[in-house]
Chains A and B, each alone.
Chain A
Amino acid sequence: MSRPQPQSGFNFNRDIAPQPQVRQQQPQVRQQQAGRPARVPQPIARGFHGVVVHNPHGGGEAWYWNRGVSWAPAPIYWGGGFWGPWAFADLSAAILFGSIVDANNNVYQSYQVEPNSPGAQVLADYGLQQTPCGPPNLVVIWGPDNSVICAFQNAMVAPGNYQIDPSTLTLVSQ
């Protein structure tokens, strides 16, 4: 039922009403052959201080890949939206792609990268193919906001932990 509102204020009464006491449901996710989560000694290094694996398609200038516009993470999305529009509150739209467990037993879930995302461009630039995290000897790529994905190694990128520099879309080994 559609009701035109010629001269009225916005009706969001349901959204601004006091929060009812309900038990929150765990989001259900589709899982794809997630193996046993891999244990990695140091999953997240801060800053970019390792060996840079130069992006073969990189322009060198900051944000060249985004038409010169700086990219900033959107807080309610996994990886800030770098890997796709996967909102934490609705991860049913995303496909679970394994997970990583760090030395402190923190579990980092991984999801399939959306084809049109900045993360997909990283994979394409380096010729990497995403695979579920879990098995050993994978390329483990840490993105914004403690997000992680995994890929098979290739001639350009050896197995190990890498962090993405979002400004240049380069991988920095940890």
Chain B
Amino acid sequence: MRRLSFALACVLSVAVAFPARGAAEALVRVQQSDGTTQVYRNVHATLSGTTLWLRSPDRKDRLQIVSAACSFPHDLQRCLPYQVILHKPDRTHQLTITRGVFYVNLTTEPHHLLHSSQVVAPHGVMVFLHTTRGTYVSAIAAAEVAAAHAHLSRLLVLRQRR
């Protein structure tokens, strides 16, 4: 049983460290420092390990959000974004962020963010960023964005039962 549990843990680590991929539509909100806000629907979101890729509705731009320091406070995976790169068709720009947070719900149940009424849907992803220029970015990709992580949830459940 212990050997099985260890094997399961190894599979789990590899699966998270060497990413399963999942894709879905996301809602992205960008609030500029002057208060104007752009809301982007039909954003294509791809989760690759702890990096979230967001592709603009016109499919030309991609926002790459790289995070680390992932842990599991309560039922959500929480990571800290540290690098954000905007890929335009002709150029790449690094956006300097002051802070951010990145939640992934690997389970099949919705879960509240800590001290918040905000809910992360099953297999959903939620990202919040604040740039040094005062721009707030939020991205919510509910349901199926982390569909490829579904097998991880099952592994987690199995592991917790043992």
**Residues of chain A at the chain B interface (Cβ within 8 Å):** 1-12, 14-17, 61, 63-64, 66-77, 80-82, 85, 87, 89-90, 93, 116-118
B114 to A15, Cβ gap below 8 A?
no
- A15 surroundings in chain B (CB, below 8 A): 86, 93, 95-96, 131, 133, 135
B17 to A70, Cβ gap below 8 A?
yes
B132 to A67, Cβ gap below 8 A?
no
- A63 surroundings in chain B (CB, below 8 A): 13
A160 to B9, CA, bound (A): 34
B58 to A7, Cβ gap below 8 A?
yes
**Residues of chain B at the chain A interface (Cβ within 8 Å):** 6, 9-10, 12-13, 16-17, 28-30, 32-42, 54, 56-58, 60-61, 63, 67-74, 78-82, 86, 88, 93, 95-99, 101, 114, 130-135, 156, 159
With A69-B16, A70-B17, A77-B80 known as contacts, the answer to whether A61 contacts B61 (CB < 8 A) is no
Main secondary structure on A side of the interface with B? loop
Subset of 6 A-B contacts with CB under 8 Å: A2-B39, A10-B56, A12-B131, A67-B159, A81-B80, A90-B130
B2 to chain A, nearest CB (A): 10
With A71-B69, A90-B99 known as contacts, the answer to whether A8 contacts B57 (CB < 8 A) is yes
B82 to A74, Cβ gap below 8 A?
yes
Which of the residues A2, A74, A116, A117 comes within 8 Å of B68, measured between beta carbons?
A: A74
B95 to chain A, nearest CB (A): 5
- B33 surroundings in chain A (CB, below 8 A): 14
Given A64-B9, A74-B79, A74-B81: 9 more A-B contacts, CB < 8 Å: A4-B40, A9-B56, A15-B93, A15-B133, A15-B135, A70-B17, A71-B71, A74-B80, A89-B132
With A80-B68, A89-B98 known as contacts, the answer to whether A116 contacts B39 (CB < 8 A) is no
B120 to chain A, nearest CB (A): 15
